[in-house]
Structure 1
Amino acid sequence: MCQLLGMNCNVPTDICFSFTGFQARGGLTDIHQDGWGIAFFEGRGCRVFLDPRPSIESPVAELVRSYAIRSLNVIAHIRKATHGDINLENTHPFMRELWGQYWLFAHNGDLKTYAPEPTGRFQPVGTTDSERAFCQILNTLAERYPDGPPVVAELHETLRELATDIGAFGEFNFLLSNGDKLFAHCASRLSYIIRQAPFAEAHLTDQDVTIDFEQVTTPDDRVAVIATTPLTDNEAWHTIAPGTLLTFCDGAPMMMENYVTRPFFRPESCPST
């Protein structure tokens, strides 16, 4: 399966430590070698780095590791292709503009029979099921809320409905962000950790790298890191239950009345790839 990485914070934070472990999964500690990408929000702007080469071999990935970009929201993806050729246009994250905001999206899974007609303002450029799903999400939001974004609780509910509808076609783990909130949907496998005071040391699972967060943070910092599987081996990560949509804001999941999507994805009924 592909690998997802997200970060949502209450203060601009760099993702270099987490990305160091994440990068290794693109050909060193795992088999995902069909491209990778990462996108950072900076104010209302967004930096996007994409490369169809394996992340472990990519000089662009090495640039990101040493380029301490500070952001409130980050989405990254390592690809194991199931739909579409291995090329730049099929590399996640995908980006579009809606309501004067950039939106980022990355998907892990296989929507085996998902082939909606491309109608509406948002059209796929590449040939992945992931980009088609992203366009359907944005087309639905644009049609339902033509005057601008709804309140976050209503937006969450609409995304929950869409995750259920699209997820009926297969495995639909995804990260979505507009630079303000980060939405994380777990169909089969997704975990998160909240780092806040008192901070401690963390050691990567995929690389022999340790950081003492107390030395690089302030007592008021709070950072949520979301990943397909935990990136560290000495911290307590929270496993997100399959069929759950979480909305992260200021480094923590918001409490929403409705966060469960149905039907739950059953791995035995639609194998991940």
Structure 2
Amino acid sequence: MCELLGMSANVPTDICFSFTGLIQRGGKTGPHKDGWGIAFYEGKGCRLFHDPNPSVDSKVAELLQKYPIKSNIVISHIRKANRGKVELKNTHPFARELWGSYWTFAHNGQLKGIKKEPLKEFRPVGTTDSEHAFCRLLSELKRKFKDRPKDERRLISEIEKLLSILGKKGVSNVLLSDSKYLYAFCSTKLAYITRHAPFGKARLIDADMTVDFRKHTGPKDIVTVLATQPLTKNETWHDLKAGEFQVWKEGRLFYQKP
């Protein structure tokens, strides 16, 4: 399987602390050593970094631990390959353009029979069932809506429906973004924590690292972090239920089902 990491914040925020914890699980404290990737949104722009090497040994990951890219939305993924070879083209998150926005998708799980489903405008580059599922999802959105719906609830409802369908094909934990929202779907395992004033200290589980958020945040900052498993040992994380769908905007929970 794989592990996911996501962030939604109301101010541009770096994810160096959480990312440092996650990448230890890519070959040191966890077996997810078959590549990794991360997407940073800056407005409608998106920076993407991928590496097929274990994240714990990656020079690119080492750079990103020290280079505090500030973003409102982040999606990251460390891979334990089950379908598709260990290659750069198979590293998540995957990215495509739809309605003039970059969409990114990271997935944890296996989807039975997904590759038999036809695709139209969007095609996978790699060989994973995850990328095929992403292309299928975007194809269905484009078929349903010629342009992005002005009523955001219609779009959110359709995404929830499509991710729920994926969830019935096997294990399917998903982080998805369109530069405006961070969408999350839990099939088996996903947790979140929302940090806001008064901020305190946090200690990583997988590395000897502590951060005092009071030194790095303002009184109005709101930052939500999602992960396959909690990354800190002294904070209370909240588990999503099986089948739960969430939409985050600027660090706040915008929509939830059920």
Instruction: State if a TM-score over 0.5 links the two structures.
Output: yes
The amino acid across from 2:188 in the alignment is S
Matches within 5 A, 1:137-216: 137-216=137-216
* CA distance in 1 between partners of 2:229 and 2:18 (Å): 12
| Equivalent position SS for 1:176 | strand
Post-superposition offset of 1:255: 3.6
* CA distance in 2 between partners of 1:235 and 1:117 (Å): 42
* CA distance in 2 between partners of 1:150 and 1:177 (Å): 17
Q: Report if aligned partners of 2:14, 2:69 keep a CA contact under 8 Å in 1.
A: yes
Partner in structure 2 of residue 25 of structure 1: 25
Per the normalisation by structure 2, the TM-score is: 0.97
Partner in structure 1 of residue 16 of structure 2: 16
Q: Report if aligned partners of 2:34, 2:81 keep a CA contact under 8 Å in 1.
A: yes
Partner in structure 2 of residue 219 of structure 1: 219
Q: Report if aligned partners of 2:167, 2:243 keep a CA contact under 8 Å in 1.
A: no
Per the normalisation by structure 1, the TM-score is: 0.92
Q: Report if aligned partners of 1:186, 1:243 keep a CA contact under 8 Å in 2.
A: yes
For residues 72-115 of structure 1, what are the alpha-carbon distances to aligned partners after superposition, in whole Å with 9 as ceiling and x for unaligned?
00000000011111101100000000000000100000113322
* CA distance in 2 between partners of 1:65 and 1:40 (Å): 13
Post-superposition offset of 1:153: 1.8
Q: Report if aligned partners of 1:24, 1:30 keep a CA contact under 8 Å in 2.
A: yes
* CA distance in 2 between partners of 1:150 and 1:83 (Å): 37
Q: Report if aligned partners of 1:202, 1:234 keep a CA contact under 8 Å in 2.
A: yes
> Bigger CA drift: 223-232 or 246-255?
246-255
Judging by fraction of residues, say which structure has more strand: 2
* CA distance in 2 between partners of 1:150 and 1:102 (Å): 18
* CA distance in 2 between partners of 1:241 and 1:119 (Å): 30
Partner in structure 2 of residue 103 of structure 1: 103
Post-superposition offset of 1:154: 1.6
Partner in structure 2 of residue 130 of structure 1: 130
Post-superposition offset of 1:168: 1.6
Unaligned regions of 5+ residues in structure 1, if any? 261-273
Whether 2:80 is the aligned partner of 1:80: answer yes
Whether 2:49 is the aligned partner of 1:49: answer yes
* CA distance in 2 between partners of 1:14 and 1:104 (Å): 18
For residues 23-72 of structure 1, what are the alpha-carbon distances to aligned partners after superposition, in whole Å with 9 as ceiling and x for unaligned?
10100100111000001011211110000010001000001111100000
Moved over 3 A (4+): none
Distance 1:253 1:59, change over 3 A: same
* CA distance in 2 between partners of 1:149 and 1:73 (Å): 21
* CA distance in 2 between partners of 1:230 and 1:246 (Å): 17
Q: Report if aligned partners of 2:248, 2:255 keep a CA contact under 8 Å in 1.
A: no
Whether 2:232 is the aligned partner of 1:232: answer yes
Q: Report if aligned partners of 1:116, 1:132 keep a CA contact under 8 Å in 2.
A: no
Post-superposition offset of 1:150: 4.5
* CA distance in 2 between partners of 1:57 and 1:206 (Å): 15
Q: Report if aligned partners of 1:99, 1:149 keep a CA contact under 8 Å in 2.
A: no
Q: Report if aligned partners of 1:118, 1:124 keep a CA contact under 8 Å in 2.
A: no
| Equivalent position SS for 1:110 | strand
Q: Report if aligned partners of 1:189, 1:242 keep a CA contact under 8 Å in 2.
A: yes
Post-superposition offset of 1:12: 0.5
Unaligned regions of 5+ residues in structure 2, if any? none
Partner in structure 2 of residue 271 of structure 1: none
Q: How many residues are paired up?
A: 258
* CA distance in 2 between partners of 1:175 and 1:61 (Å): 20
* CA distance in 1 between partners of 2:141 and 2:105 (Å): 14
